[in-house]
Amino acid sequence: MRFNTDIDTFKTIVRQFEESKKFIKKAEADYSRMAIILTDNIIEILLSNHLNEVIEADKEIISYREPNFSIEEIDGINRYWVS
């Protein structure tokens, strides 16, 4: 998996990891929940970026072989990730 080279996305992920770490160190339930929410968001950002890259790569090689994703699958992915 290649990482999205968008520096703003990278900075957001780093900030969220740093905040999550601070919440975990407080060792209280409410702060732990916030750490989980931030970490979950990081995972969603990374998955979204990865799926976009895979779909774009699929579009580039469609003339050489059958695509990995059907139009319906791509629409489903876009509906889930793009709110």
Tens of pLDDT along 40-73?
988 888 888 888 888 887 777 666 677 777 778 8
Q: Give residue 36's domain range.
A: 7-81
Residue-wise burial string across 48-75, b where 16 or more C-beta atoms lie within 10 A, e elsewhere: bbebeeebeebeeeeeeeeeeeeeeebe
> Does 64 fall in a domain?
yes
Tens of pLDDT along 6-29?
788 888 888 888 989 898 898 888
| Overall domain count for the chain | 1
> Does 71 fall in a domain?
yes
> Does 1 fall in a domain?
no
Judge if pTM exceeds 0.85.
Answer: no
> Does 58 fall in a domain?
yes
> Does 2 fall in a domain?
no
